[in-house]
Amino acid sequence: MDTQVKYLNIAQDLTDKIKHDLYPTGTLLPSEADLTKLYGTSRATIRKALTELTNNGLIQKIKGKGSVVLNTARFTFPISGITTFSELNESQQMHATTKVLTLAEGTLPQDIIDQTQVKDPRVTFVQRLRTINEEPIVVDEDYILKSVVPNIPEKVAEHSLYRYFEETLGLEIAYATKTITVEPVSDKMCHYLGLGANNNLAVVVRSLTYLNDTTFFQYTVSRHRPDRFKFVDFARRHHHGQ
């Protein structure tokens, strides 16, 4: 039934209770000692659950006091991490569409081959235009290694690549490196994104995505309409001195 992992269940339960205002913003969660009694676990397990909430920006722990519930209402949003357009679309309620512009075979761009040292550069290339409320928002270009995903049905490209990777193929996506820059784009891209002639700048997000076993498998270039782009981040400061 549940995730079989206590600390994740506890984290989920606490998260739900915060979202439903059972633990309101600004109040303290029950102490770790109380939580161990409430959930019938050891303190280490409770602490692992609380670490999850901390990483997700839901609480701030204060030594000697307790765990303060943060104002999370403002971030109904992704909070960094790896989240995809389809997932975003479902968590928010948007009239979103995906139009497949290109679905073809190809090879990885040379600079990415160099960077990743990949042996077999054959990829499936997917180019998709995303719209929200009839308005063009972003053009995604995905290069997916054929050595990992031999084949991508058109139907999948129209919906969620990640759902296909994770649920159908059982791939375990672990991490990604992203860069965000602002760059001029081609006339064709301007046309897709509905950009005027005097403004050919788009926000370009490039991602290299890796599986649990550290194999690289996907390179993505997303070009966003600058006036519709918003990136929300929650960051913690690290104080390991010097």
Partner DNA sequence: CAGTGGTCTAGACCACTGA
Partner DNA sequence: CAGTGGTCTAGACCACTGG
- Binding window for DNA (CB under 7 A); candidates: 41-49, 120-128, 198-206, 217-225: 41-49
d(CA 30, CA 17): 12
Exactly one of 25, 27, 33, 135 binds DNA (CB under 7 A); that residue is 33
d(CA 242, CA 171): 39
d(CA 122, CA 143): 9
| Of residues 71-130, those binding DNA (CB under 7 A) | none
Q: In one letter, which amino acid is 81? A: G
d(CA 156, CA 167): 12
Size of the site for DNA (CB under 7 A): 26
Which of its own copies, DNA, none interacts with 29 (beta carbon under 5 to 8 A by kind)? Answer: DNA
Q: Coil, helix or strand for 63?
A: coil
The answer to whether 41 contacts DNA (rule: CB under 7 A) is yes
| Of residues 113-132, those binding its own copies (CB under 8 A) | 115
Q: Which is nearer to DNA, 66 or 121 (CB)?
A: 66
Q: Which is nearer to DNA, 23 or 162 (CB)?
A: 23
- Sorted by sequence, the CB contacts under 8 Å of residue 146 that are 6+ apart come out as 105, 120, 122, 123, 124
Answer whether 101's CB lies under 8 Å from 191's CB.
no
The answer to whether 42 contacts DNA (rule: CB under 7 A) is yes
- Binding window for DNA (CB under 7 A); candidates: 30-38, 77-85, 198-206, 217-225: 30-38
Residue 237 corresponds to which tokens in the numbers above?
């400061």
The answer to whether 32 contacts DNA (rule: CB under 7 A) is yes
The answer to whether 20 contacts its own copies (rule: CB under 8 A) is no
| Of residues 56-75, those binding DNA (CB under 7 A) | 61-67
